[in-house]
Chains A and B, each alone.
Chain A
């Protein structure tokens, strides 16, 4: 029972490069989200999805794209990396009920130089 799996765990990018952070869950959860964690800022919502084919923006969506072609996968794309995107990124998934908490992956630590 893997839960939420994020890859890679660590990544260093040069400014302007693009990459995709992978996120997969095996719990058949409808809802998935991406957060970034920065010192003193807590976790801020980047994008979220309420089901396959449906995505929406969160608090800090600029510079990121997402898609949800299957229930299991929710990749996060950085189109042109900037130093301001240096952060720890967390993917999370949940059932579609208000009373249910989110299950988090172990995170991807991204450094943009």
Chain B
């Protein structure tokens, strides 16, 4: 079945550092890919998405490119802020389109 694997956390960075959170997936066909963010004590918010190969999703300085050849959707940000501290989830919506399949999440902690 479809699955998502993302790097284990926690990831601890200083403010203005470069961020990469790796995400790879297994799916038949051409899924849509998503990054969600969860701030402490809150629900999940959609951060960005990409719906076909080579698409780049971007939002709030975060970017991720849908790489079909490596089945990856790595999240990047050039300069993190303390306010980016949160849990980040990679997810896919497969060809059946019924529900999202999530990775286990990566906790990011940014210090000033």
Contact = CB atoms under 8 A, between A and B. Distances in A.
B51 A45 contact: no
Interface in A14-71: 31, 33, 35, 40-45, 48, 50, 56, 58
B98 interface: yes
B46 A101 contact: yes
Q: How large is the interface on B (under 10, 10 to 19, 20 to 34, 35 or more residues)?
A: 20 to 34
Interface in B60-106: 89, 93, 95, 97-105
A33 B34 CA distance: 16
Given A97-B97, A104-B44, A43 B32 contact: no
A55 B14 CA distance: 45
Nearest to A33: B99
21 contacts: A40-B104, A42-B102, A42-B105, A43-B44, A43-B100, A43-B105, A44-B102, A90-B44, A97-B97, A98-B32, A101-B36, A101-B46, A101-B93, A102-B46, A102-B100, A103-B46, A104-B36, A104-B44, A105-B43, A106-B42, A106-B43
